[in-house]
Amino acid sequence: MPIYNAPLADMKFILNDVFNAEQFWQANENLAHIDAATAEAILEEMAKFAQNVTLPINRTGDEEGATFSNGNVTTPAGFKEAFKQYAEGGWIGLGADEEWGGQAMPKMLTVLSDEMLFATNPSFMLYPLLSVGAGMALNSYASQEQKETYLPKMYTGEWSGTMCLTEPHAGTDLGIIKTKAEPNADGTYNITGTKIFITGGDHDLSENIIHLVLAKTPNAPAGSRGISLFIVPKFMVNADGSLGERNTAGPGSIEHKMGIKASATCVMNFDAAKGYLVGKENEGLAAMFVMMNYERLSMGIQGLGASEYAYQNAAQYATDRLQGRSASGVQSPAKPADSILVHGDVRRMLLNARANNEASRAFAVYVGQQLDITKFSTDPEAIKAANNRVALLTPIAKAYLTDTAFNAVIDSQMVFGGHGYIREWGMEQCVRDLRIAQIYEGTNGVQSQDLIGRKTIKCNGLFIAEYISEIRDFANGLDAELNFIKDATLDAATEIEAVTQYVIEAASENIEFPNSAAVDYLHAVGLLSFSYMFAKIANAAKAKDGEFYQNKLALAQYFVQRILPELELRITKVKAGSEVIMNFSEDYFTTQA
C-alpha cells in the first residue's frame, strides 16, 4: 500500500529558516495574528488529516470514480464524509478574510497545507480548491450584497463554487465563446450555453453549487472585450438565505478521464438559467483572472505534492528492494543481494525528484510571500514590486513546477521497475493523476507564451530585470563557503539576462519567434529560479549543525552539478529560432509516406 509522511521538517525549515516567516508576519500589522507556533500547529493538523483521511480514499476513489446518473453526480465512498470533516475543520476558509468567516492565514502557509492534500488525494483537493478560487473572484469583484449572500456559506463548505469558462469550440480562446446572457427586467440575466471540462460542476458534497459563468450580453464587443461574469447558482437563493427552486443549470454528462477520476469533470448545460452579473458588463475576464491565477499556482502545488508522494514511495521501495550487487563490492553480505540504492542510476532518479521537491517547495512559498505582500502590505512601492513579481512568476509556478514534477514522478515510477507499472504500488495512478496538471488552467505551452509574450516582450524585459536584480543582490551577499551556489546562480542570472535581450530583439524581427522559443525560455527562467531557491536553502543551512542541514547543502551541490547544466541546452534551443519549426508546410503533417 502506498505511504505518505508529511514532510513537516522540510516545511518548517523553509518557513522558519529560509524565509524567516515569523519575522515577516510580525512586521506586518495585518499578519501579526500568525506566528511560527501557530503555523506549525496548523501544518501538523493538516498532516494528520492528509495521512488519516484523504490518503486512505485515494486509490478507492480512483477505482470507483465519480458517477453520473439521472442528471446528478455522486462522489466515491468516503468523499462526502471527508469533505464534511474538512469543512468543519475550517480548512476551506484557511486563507479567506475573517469578514466572511475565514482565518486570514498567509499564502506562505496555505501553499504548504495545500501540498499535503494534493500529495494524498488530488481528486478530493479539487473540490474545495474551486470554492476557494471562486470566493477570491467574488471577494474582488462582487457587490457587497453578493459577498454577504455567497461567501460565508462557501467558506463553511455548505455551498461550493465552480469556474465555467471553456466551451466545446473555444478551448483557450475565450473571445469566441457562445454562451449568451439575456437581460431581464428585474436586473437578472438568462444564461444559455454549454461549458465543458468543469471541475466539480456537480457533486453531492454540498447543498448548493455557485457557478461562475463567462457569457456575452447582446451587442457585446467582439472578442475577450465582450465577456461578462455571472453567478449562476444550482439552487436559487431566497431573500432569507434559504434555498429555493432548482435553477435550469446542470450537468449533461461527466468526462471519462485518464486520471483524477474521483473529481467530477462535467459538461454543463445552461438553459435560460437565472444569473446575476458580477461587476460590470464586458469586464468579466478580469474578474475571472483572479480565480485563474489562483488555480495556476495551485496546479504547481499539485505537481509538488505528487512529486513528494512519488519520491517517498520510490525511496522506500529502493531501500527494501534487493537486486544485484554494488560495483564497489558486496554491501550486504548477509543478504542475497544489495538494495538497489547501491546503484548510481537509482540514486540519480531519486535525487532528481528530491531536488525538485526542495526547490519547488521553496519557490511556492516564495511566490506565496509575494502574494502576501500584495494583499497585506501597506507600502505602495512594495505592493507594486510584488505584483510585478507575481505576474512574472505565475506561469513559471504553473508550468515549470508541473513539468519538473511530472519528470520526477516518472523517475520515481522507474525506480520500481516493472512494479511501477502495477496498480497496487500506486505509481501508475500518481502518473495518471498528475498528467492533467500540465494541461488544465491553460496548457504549459500557453503559460510559456504568457511568460515570453505578455510578461517579458510586452514590458521590454522589465519584470525579469527586476527579478534578476533581486537574485544578484542576494547571491552577492553569500559567504565564500557558498561560492559553488553563488557563482552558479550569478552565472545563470547573466545567461538569462542575455537570452532575454536576444528574445526581445528576435521577436521584433520575426513574429513567429516567441511562440517557437517559449517553452525553452520558460524552462531556462525556471532553472534560474530553482538556483535562486537553492541559494536561499544553502544560506539557511550553512549556519546549522546536523545531518539534516548538511544534506540540504549536499542537495544544492547536486542541483548545481547535475540539473542546472540543462540551462545551456535550453538557451541553445531558444537561439535556434523558429525557421526550422515553421518552414514545414501544413501538408507535411498529414501527408503519408
What amino acid positions are annotated as catalytic residues?
441
Identify residue 537 by its one-letter amino acid code. Answer: I
End-to-end Cα, the chain, rounded Å: 48
Find all residues with CB under 8 Å of 69, minimum gap 6, and list them.
Answer: none
Find all residues with CB under 8 Å of 573, minimum gap 6, and list them.
Answer: 517, 520
Q: Which helix (H) or strand (E) holds 232?
A: strand 228-233
Cell of 321: 528492494
CA angle 301, 430, 325 (to 5 degrees): 115
Single out the residue of 396, 414, 403 nearest to residue 533, CA to CA: 396
Find all residues with CB under 8 Å of 36, minimum gap 6, and list them.
Answer: 15, 16, 21, 22
* Size of the chain in residues: 593
Q: Which residues of 376-394 are buried (b: 16+ CB within 10 A; e: fewer)?
A: bbeeeeeeebbebbbbbbb
Instruction: Give the largest CA-CA distance in the chain.
Output: 85
Distance of CA 212 to the CA centre of its chain: 20
Site of grid cell 547536486: 558
Find all residues with CB under 8 Å of 364, minimum gap 6, and list them.
Answer: 111, 112, 115, 297, 300, 301, 304, 397, 401
- d(CA 15, CA 348) in angstroms, rounded, equals 27
- d(CA 568, CA 492) in angstroms, rounded, equals 9
| 3-class SS of residue 161 | strand
Helix axis angle for 513-541 and 483-509, nearest 10°, is: 160
Q: Which residues of 514-551 are buried (b: 16+ CB within 10 A; e: fewer)?
A: bbbbbbbbbbbbbbbbbbbbbbbbbbbbbeeeeeebee
DSSP sequence for 254-309:
E---SS-TTS-EEEEEEEEEEEEEESSTT-HHHHHHHHHHHHHHHHHHHHHHHHHH
CA distances from 301 to 19, 359, 403, 522, 582 (A): 18, 12, 12, 17, 34
- d(CA 447, CA 522) in angstroms, rounded, equals 8
